[in-house]
Amino acid sequence: MALITTALCSFGMSGHLFHAPFIDVHPDFNLYGVLERTKNLTEKKYPNIITFRSLEALLQDDNIDLVIVNTPNITHYDFTKRIIEAGKHVVVEKPFTVTAVEAQELIELAEKHKVKLSVYHNRRWDSDFKTVKKIVGQGVLGDIVEAEFHYDRFEPELSYKTHKETATEGVGSLYDLGSHLIDQALQLFGMPKRVFASLDSFRENSEVGDYFDVKLYYDSKYVTLKSSYFVREPLPAYSIHGTKGSFIKSKADIQETELQKELKPNTNNWGVEPESEKGLLHIMKEGKSYKQSVNTEIGDYMTYYDGISEAILNNKPLPVSANEAKQVIQIIEAAIKSNLEKRVIEL
């Protein structure tokens, strides 16, 4: 089978943890090159890789089929546009772009050049979210009336990554962590009718947002998405309430931790949560109360790259479409506008 020759646009945390390990062990991909302007970090781990010193040099290499744009958020639009115009397929790290206008332009450009364009919303394949999605899909909760998702941390200090702490477009927790929660909410419930949001910064000397509370209004349900850098004792990551009962689940996917330990994605028991992190289902059925633990689904980010392979080699649907990723940006823009104008934004 033909290999998909792949290059990374950087080898920071995203490249090191979330892309290179999966591309390296996947039989349909060839981890071929990386853009590092001055360093040679990738060669230490992948000695056969080619290091490019500029995007121009990378794009001139006709061997490359697919490029991963895993650079700072503000660069996503420019890098992706240049890669598409070079006739190569693209995977863009979330958030897709800073604005929905940019996202739409890239979607149309990819169609014009007949290349695949996808966004790496890997948290769809977290063990915890997969479990939530399964429970909601089974209908055991009845009609959903309320849901609350959290992606909290306890990180009072500013990040050493300067580009994440500089007040430029596309930075802050709403773009960073909010992209994940919004995408998950849209996967379960679709686009809301209205958005209301409170955004803030609580860390000392912070120039970017580190807190958000985003309300998504649907015809018959409310969804709250929250994140704070000052949560020392974690709340449930997912609380779903319906006409027949509730489901509560912790945020316990272990894949990022396993990757930080340098474990390979094809390791035995990959993505298996501890037994202690089972979800709690409490429902009414035939007038009786049933309360039980729910086994957690297995997390597997490799599913994303399986989908990319199928899309490129067999023209199957992308695992995450650019249109889906654009909707995430539309919600982010509405949340920012809501916070500035202190009102509910109609979509």
**Separation CA 55–CA 186 (nearest Å):** 33
Q: 199 forms bridges with which residues in the sheet?
A: 212
Q: What is the mean pLDDT of residues 114-141?
A: 98
The 10s digit of each residue's pLDDT in 175-210 is: 999 999 999 999 999 999 999 999 999 999 999 999
Q: What average pLDDT does this structure show over 21-25?
A: 97
Instruction: Tell me if domain 4-121+303-317 and domain 123-300+331-346 are identical in fold.
Output: no
Local structure of 277: helix, strand or coil: helix
Omega prior to 317 cis, within 30 of 0? no
Query: Over 90: is that where the pLDDT of 161 sits?
Result: no
**CATH topology for 123-300+331-346?**
Dihydrodipicolinate Reductase; domain 2 (3.30.360)
Task: Render pLDDT for 256-283 as a digit per residue (tens, 0 to 9).
Answer: 999 999 999 989 999 999 999 999 999 9
Query: According to CATH, what is the number of the domain 4-121+303-317?
Result: 3.40.50.720
Mean pLDDT on 212-240:
97
Give the confidence band of 102 by pLDDT, cuts at 50, 70, 90: very high
Distances (CA, A) of 206 to 155, 172, 174: 12, 10, 14
This prediction's pTM: 0.96
Q: Which residue has the higher pLDDT, 74 or 164?
A: 74
Tell me the pLDDT band of 163, cut-offs 50, 70 and 90: confident
pLDDT over 90 at 236, yes or no: yes
Domain ranges of the chain: 4-121+303-317, 123-300+331-346
1 pLDDT more than 70: no
Q: Which helix (H) or strand (E) holds 210?
A: none
pLDDT at 162 over 90: no
Q: Which stretch of DSSP H or E encloses residue 220?
A: none
Task: Tell me the pLDDT tens digit for each residue of 218-228.
Answer: 999 999 999 99
